[in-house]
Structure 1
């Protein structure tokens, strides 16, 4: 992932655009439905960009990012991170132009949020919101954004008049009149009518799912290819992302969602995937977390040169799942391992880069085992220390190792034993290992010296 200073500078200018009019009601949707998922900083950025648009206008005047920093009271890293989240959740499109002199200018196009109905029936965002705020508050928001349906008594009759019953069209004497005003009826060149474009639900790229492998498995089960319509494929891609389902597992859910017409019932497919996930994860639902270390917490901003700097960059730009697989030699983590990874990122709120350091420390120090007790002990400690960056995690791990060694050394001195440890504990390469001294004098024990003198005197007496 590119660093923020490579993508944006305070002197870069930007213009705010809107993909249709934004309504006052959108503020409630953004505040109550989107804010729990993206945070207050993202909402503040969206609202500030929105405020730059004049009433009933689709374009704003040009401004600099320095002004935006002052308005929000945020640094450029925070703004860039918030912008990426708005883009990812479908509330913002960003366009950039670089002129001949290398100056950049941006267009930030605000997209309207989903309607409450779209959001609560989304199948992905509603799941993340449910997990974030809980059942009680989720139900409260559903009541807030809904109302009782209006019921009409059967005794009421519809007496509404149709358009043609009320109005008539007078035929002009010549078609020339209509031809003369055609251009007047259309929008002028390079202009558009102000309106409202409804937002489309979030959609995971279908290329991220192996449909060829899925189709091969379905052919064996005599499921027709026509059942995999574009709409069904979109739902499958979203479910695979949401619940981390592979093509082999997805085949079973599809077989359970086939109706007598050899069509895939989307609601049954969603329910089957959700029920399976909750069964495996003890009635829990997935949470929305960052895939990689947030830019705001990345410290390796220059091109890495040393091995440690390269390792920091790797941890900052790689997901924990990938790091786990790399350390394990490509072996996929078990469901229990995935549960532990998810828990430490949600329960302890550790950023992905910090989790990557934790994975290596645990795996190497525990002979490639990823046990919950050991992970919890480190994760809870780092959470209390408010570790946010990869560098902080590595330094704390080194410090803990030095303290452990010193405690072990002190314990040996107290016991007065010279026994060597039975096993040398493995450590990550980036730990500061103490270099062995070339020559080291062993302190002689007084008891040992006395015993030696006694033996020498006995030998001398024998010689006499």
Structure 2
């Protein structure tokens, strides 16, 4: 994460505390929060907390003071601040002045040990970080039944700072929400889930209680699940009385995660991109670039459904695609281009033999991205349309005049009518790029 210039030593800060600290907050910070955010973030929280007694009302402290107190470079202080913001222990408010910026750090009270285990997301994260035996020991010990106008909120959210798994080099990190884009749990729209439950004749108001909505949104973010996967987990965890069984739902989400990412661990890690870079969306310049970006992002199943105007992809088509991808080793973006190309050539039918023939060619060409596949397909098409030079044996001699019987003429006439479909396929070749742009326009709407 690039943090150079995000914070200056001369910039001042003022500390506030929101609410009252639980009497055993130190136990929470040490045993429950520290495994998630690290020692430096906990140390920054403690330093800010105890510095409130020393700060002067007329003069802010500078961040140079924090560097000296913690014996830490400023970039580490900034990273620790982001972790506190992401985990919910700090809110930061920035005030811009002519000289330099100043900040108000509003400390949020940590959960008491017993309250910590009532937060499903933090509980699951702690379980994955410290292991089952240590987690059960802590839970048994702590989980007991007990009873500004000119400031802008610039607090980093959980998704800006953390990701819950370490992706492979060729795997994109995207937290899915019902509308297909990255979103926070508080902004999640559950209308899609209500429609699914109503179609299943299940009372949505009984399932989608505020508590269950919070659990569903947290597990969706934690395990990087799509709406379809969340639907499966919810339906799996419903009891006979149409209530959501929390433990079964959490286990179902974890199993879906392991099947999706082929790994058994969930761990809180820092995002490799800066917060500002995540928030700035650089859109492709041309429609073709937009379509290439779409082919890089979506799955072959989603592409088939988009081309079917939202209809479900058939199991037979998915089996054909699966077999070709596994046997030929084509990446998903290349497979997307192949699917679209074959559909254009075969009047929107998936011909397995035709796909296998092209896939083997593309596999030998070692195509890795959608852009490479489209460029390769266009080049092949351009070579196909080049006029072939006529050889000396292809030229008919005008000197000899043969007598052709009528039945032979009729047969030739019928043969000339058969390749009409082939000419239509050639026309589809010519319209390939145009149809790609047309499809990208449809996705933009």
Q: Give the TM-score normalised by structure 2.
A: 0.50
- Residue by residue over 1:62-86, the C-alpha shift from the partner in whole angstroms, topping out at 9 and shown as x without a partner, is 2001111122222222111111110
| Structure 2 equivalent of residue 235 of structure 1 | 215
Alpha-carbon separation, structure 1, partners of 2:245 and 2:57: 43
8 A contact 1:11–1:65 mirrored in 2:
yes
Maintained 8 Å contact 1:4/1:76: no
Q: Aligned to 1:87, which of 85, 88, 91?
A: 85
CA distance in 1, matches of 2:268, 2:48: 25
Gaps of 5+ in 1: 151-201, 296-300, 302-312, 319-324, 335-365, 371-422, 429-464
Which residue is 2:112 aligned to?
115
Cα distance in 1, alignment partners of residues 89 and 367 from structure 2: 47
2:272 pairs with 1:292 = yes
Question: What CA distance in whole angstroms lies between the structure 2 residues aligned with 1:282 and 1:426?
Answer: 24
Tell me the SS of whatever aligns to 2:94.
Answer: strand
Residue correspondence of structure 1 range 243-254 to structure 2 within 5 A:
243-254=223-234
1:96/1:232 Cα in 2 relative to 1: closer, same or farther (>3 Å)? same
CA gap 1:122/1:285 in 2 versus in 1, 3 angstroms: farther
Matched, 1:52 2:51: yes
Cα distance change of structure 1 residues 280 and 246 upon mapping to structure 2, 3 Å threshold: closer
Q: 1:269 aligns with which of 219, 231, 249?
A: 249
Per-residue deviation, 1:237: 0.7
- Secondary structure (helix, strand or coil) at the match of 1:240 reads helix
1:211 correspondence with 2:190: yes
Q: Give the SS at the match of 1:223.
A: coil
Measure the CA separation in 2 of the matches of 1:262 and 1:219. Answer: 12
**Deviation sequence 1:109-154 (CA, Å, 0-9, x none):** 111111212222322112211211212222333344367x99xxxx
Give the Å deviation of 1:285. Answer: 4.5
CA–CA distance in 1 between the matches of 2:270 and 2:295? 22
Between the aligned partners of 2:131 and 2:215, the Cα distance in structure 1 is 24
- The equivalences for 1:32-71 within 5 A come to 32-54=31-53, 62-71=60-69
Matching residue of 2:96: 98
Worse-superposed segment, 118-127 or 269-278? 269-278
Question: What secondary structure does 1:113 align onto?
Answer: coil
SS of aligned partner of 2:35: helix
Distance 1:291 1:368 in 2: 25
1:333 and 1:26 map into 2 onto residues whose CA distance is: 49
Partners of 2:104 and 2:88 in 1: CA distance: 15
Counterparts of 1:355-366 in structure 2 under 5 Å? none
List per-residue Cα deviations over 1:411-430 (Å, max 9, x = no partner). Answer: xxxxxxxxxxxx898899xx
Q: Which residue of 2 aligns with 1:125?
A: 122
Distance 1:72 1:143 in 2: 34
Give secondary structure in 2 for the equivalent of 1:9. coil
For residues 38 and 120 of structure 2, the distance between their equivalents in structure 1, rounded to whole angstroms, comes to 21
Structure 1 Cα separation of the partners of residues 8 and 210 of structure 2: 41
**What secondary structure sits across from 1:256 in the alignment?**
helix
Distance 1:206 1:231 in 2: 13
Any conservation in 2 of the 1:127–1:285 contact (CA below 8 Å)?
no
Secondary structure of 2:269's aligned partner: coil
Q: CA deviation at 1:332?
A: 3.8
CA distance in 1, matches of 2:86, 2:300: 27
- The alignment's C-alpha RMSD in Å is 4.3
Q: Deviations over 1:168-191 (max 9, x none)?
A: xxxxxxxxxxxxxxxxxxxxxxxx
